[in-house]
Amino acid sequence: GAVVSQHPSWVICKSGTSVKIECRSLDFQATTMFWYRQFPKQSLMLMATSNEGSKATYEQGVEKDKFLINHASLTLSTLTVTSAHPEDSSFYICSAGDKSYEQYFGPGTRLTVT
């Protein structure tokens, strides 16, 4: 089956620094990737839709200048959390879709901002 990887799996950073999270589709091309955020014991909240070669589409309430998304190729999308604060600590999950309806999810990245 299709595999999506995320790197890093976990990261700890200091408040005010920026953190980049990578999402890769390993064995298929993904024209669209999605970024979700999940707080403890809560559901996944869609942050943005990332389209290869174009600007990301952000959901209402998500700051595009704080969460920078770059979809540079058909197999790679990156999410950069800029000037991170403790309230940005969360589990970030990406997914990628091929031509079918199914989404393939990455294993997630746990971000802790101290």
Partner 1 sequence: SQQGEEDPQALSIQEGENATMNCSYKTSINNLQWYRQNSGRGLVHLILIRSNEREKHSGRLRVTLDTSKKSSSLLITASRAADTASYFCATDTGGYNKLIFGAGTRLAVHP
Q: How many CB atoms lie within 10 A of CB 49?
A: 15
Q: Per rule CB under 8 A, is residue 20 in the interface with partner 1?
A: no
Q: Per rule CB under 8 A, is residue 97 in the interface with partner 1?
A: yes
| Residue with Cβ nearer partner 1 (16 or 107) | 107
Distance CA 61, CA 71 (A): 21
Kindly tell me which residue out of 47, 67, 106, 111 binds partner 1, with binding defined by CB under 8 A: 106
Q: Per rule CB under 8 A, is residue 101 in the interface with partner 1?
A: yes
The widest CA-to-CA distance across the chain, in whole angstroms, is 40
Q: What is the DSSP letter of 88?
A: G
Q: Per rule CB under 8 A, is residue 43 in the interface with partner 1?
A: yes
Q: Per rule CB under 8 A, is residue 110 in the interface with partner 1?
A: yes
Q: Per rule CB under 8 A, is residue 27 in the interface with partner 1?
A: no
How far is residue 86 from each of residues 29, 93, 104, measured CA to CA in Å? 34, 18, 29
Q: Are 94 and 76 in contact (CB under 8 A)?
A: no
Q: Per rule CB under 8 A, is residue 93 in the interface with partner 1?
A: yes
Residues that bind partner 1 (CB under 8 A): 32, 34, 36, 41-46, 49, 51, 59-60, 91, 93, 95, 97, 101-108, 110
